[in-house]
Copies of this chain bind each other. A is one copy, B any other.
């Protein structure tokens, strides 16, 4: 059986709500109340084609996971498909879409990309405003976002000379898994916003250089699709956002275990939505760009004193567990899985101690890239305090950090202070958005060169020789990096 547009259009309200996604029709009436992003956004497309809004932020198995078979109503009829396609072809492109098209033409050849900053510059040009706003935004005034990066600039090297460096080995192990460089891809949501192939660009780009990818619970591709894109020798980790319902959480864990993911990074710094203004503002920016309206209707929203700021990021975590504890959550997790457990989002020395006492396998010092708690201490500063106040911690479990890492020197500084490896998030999103899989390979290649050169110029020929006495936290304010020379 197939459906006409006319038939679908009758189900355009909360009593009966049908939507078209990729030429198939779905009855989402019962799902309206369960949708993490709220019913409002669905109802905007009730009785209509919702593909363009749905596609970039949902994995392919979301419909199967959330709707029962009976709610899959079947395909559109041929006339309907034809009609949609004709309409699509006639649809006027938005100013932002036109801007992106032009920017793609002016994209420099990949061999001109010399640094991660270069890559970010290209991404900023070719990303849709919506994607840019989502990727780049951070909490409140984006202070922590900037401070994460600035922290690295306060650490200088005390380089050693007259040491043999013709051979230099940058490989190491993370939770026992091999990696050619002391870096890994940090989990982040919604890669499809930036590129139609999404997270798979990263998976494929990481395969040849053997870099480990952590996949987010909120990936825009299914965990299975990503696993399928990986090579047999490739290692994938899983970033777990724990559902408040243990049973649902367990189902997710079982799925990724069976898919061959090798470790669980339990996210603990994002239990409630934060305030990301750039992201919240992005639809208004786009609306104003299209309409050019500067004078608002008298009273339009004027009386709206409610404050329901959520955005995409907030919707993704609305059902997560807000009451995790050391006493309850870690033992439960240990009881249900044999995978190594790392706590992602440790923000102070005290919690690092508690994590060691809870005998987890590792901690990832992180403030969620500055996207959650504004004015959370920069992870590198937490690492420094851990090194100076509790150095024995580094013997008890592995310590990683993420946030603000953009140069090989950043990576080496963190390793000198005791980090086993460092994670990067946004740089991989930007690289895959700008050039797809080869973009990902490109930035890994840049990081490799930068890390190895830094090691050699410090008189170091393998990771183990990087020690705390090779860095000094200076007491002045160094000049800031400028994005491009």
Contact B274 A143, beta carbon cutoff 8 Å:
no
Number of copies: 4
Q: Which of A8-16, A77-85, A221-229, A305-313 contacts B (4 or more CB under 8 A)?
A: A305-313
- Measured between alpha carbons, how far is A456 from B268 in the docked complex, in Å? 11
- Give chain A interface residues in 144-162, CB to chain B under 8 Å: 146-147, 150, 153-162
- Give chain A interface residues in 97-153, CB to chain B under 8 Å: 105-112, 114-115, 117, 137, 140-143, 146-147, 150, 153
Instruction: State the Cβ distance, A164 to closest chain B Cβ, in Å.
Output: 4
- Give chain A interface residues in 138-194, CB to chain B under 8 Å: 140-143, 146-147, 150, 153-166
Interface string of A338-382 (1 = CB under 8 A from B): 000001011111110010000000000001000011111100010
Residue of B nearest to A457 (CB): B373
Given contacts A153-B143, A302-B110, A477-B477, contact A272 B165 (CB under 8 A): yes
Asked if A88 CB lies within 8 Å of chain B CBs, one says no
- Measured between alpha carbons, how far is A147 from B153 in the docked complex, in Å? 11
Residue of B nearest to A472 (CB): B377
Instruction: State the Cβ distance, A429 to closest chain B Cβ, in Å.
Output: 18
Asked if A258 CB lies within 8 Å of chain B CBs, one says no
Contact B482 A141, beta carbon cutoff 8 Å:
yes
Instruction: State the Cβ distance, A453 to closest chain B Cβ, in Å.
Output: 6
Contact A156 B376, beta carbon cutoff 8 Å:
yes
- Measured between alpha carbons, how far is A141 from B458 in the docked complex, in Å? 18
Contact B271 A165, beta carbon cutoff 8 Å:
yes
Q: Which chain B residues border A306 with CB–CB below 8 Å?
A: 111, 445
Residue of B nearest to A448 (CB): B307
Q: Which chain B residues border A323 with CB–CB below 8 Å?
A: 164-166
Q: Which of A44-52, A68-76, A278-286 contacts B (4 or more CB under 8 A)?
A: A278-286
Asked if A207 CB lies within 8 Å of chain B CBs, one says no
Instruction: State the Cβ distance, A459 to closest chain B Cβ, in Å.
Output: 9
Instruction: State the Cβ distance, A101 to closest chain B Cβ, in Å.
Output: 12
Asked if A315 CB lies within 8 Å of chain B CBs, one says no
Residue of B nearest to A447 (CB): B307
- Measured between alpha carbons, how far is A161 from B457 in the docked complex, in Å? 39
**Interface core residue of A413, A450, A475 (most chain B CB under 10 Å):** A450
Contact B377 A157, beta carbon cutoff 8 Å:
yes
Contact B158 A453, beta carbon cutoff 8 Å:
no
Asked if A269 CB lies within 8 Å of chain B CBs, one says yes
Asked if A89 CB lies within 8 Å of chain B CBs, one says no
- Measured between alpha carbons, how far is A304 from B446 in the docked complex, in Å? 12
Q: Which chain B residues border A159 with CB–CB below 8 Å?
A: 269, 347-348, 367, 373, 376
Contact A377 B140, beta carbon cutoff 8 Å:
no
